Amino acid sequence: MNIQDMPVIDMRGTGLKITQLRKASGKSVKDLQDIFGFGTPQAIYKWQQGAAMPTIDNLIVLSVIFGVSLDEIIVLEDAYQVKTA
């Protein structure tokens, strides 16, 4: 497998997915801020906007909070999805 064939995370798509899952779970940004112990909500807003990705530890916590697998949070770029379909 070449480097060009490797999956790439769609940060914006992943951020939108985090937002959708958060809303579906009935959690507010403030709720997530409190769960993670963040002093401000900025990190969560950056995740939702696709400006930053949660660490793997935080992704695992999100999967537990939302009751989904990591695969249901992380969105891969369309080019990779088309190749694997």
Q: What CATH number does the domain containing 46 carry?
A: 1.10.260.40
Q: Are 15 and 47 in contact (CB under 8 A)?
A: yes
The whole-number average pLDDT for the span 24-49 is 98
Q: Which domain holds residue 26?
A: 20-84
Whether 7 is covered by a domain: the verdict is no
Whether 69 is covered by a domain: the verdict is yes
Distance CA 51, CA 48 (A): 8
Whether 36 is covered by a domain: the verdict is yes
Q: What is the pLDDT of residue 1?
A: 62
Bigger pLDDT: 74 vs 4: 74
Q: Are 30 and 41 in contact (CB under 8 A)?
A: yes
Whether 2 is covered by a domain: the verdict is no
Instruction: Reply yes or no on whether the pLDDT at 41 is more than 80.
Output: yes
Q: Are 43 and 51 in contact (CB under 8 A)?
A: no
Q: Are 49 and 15 in contact (CB under 8 A)?
A: yes
Given phi > 0 = left and psi -120 to 50 = alpha, else beta, which region is 78?
Answer: alpha
The whole-number average pLDDT for the span 28-42 is 98
- Tally of domains in the chain: 1
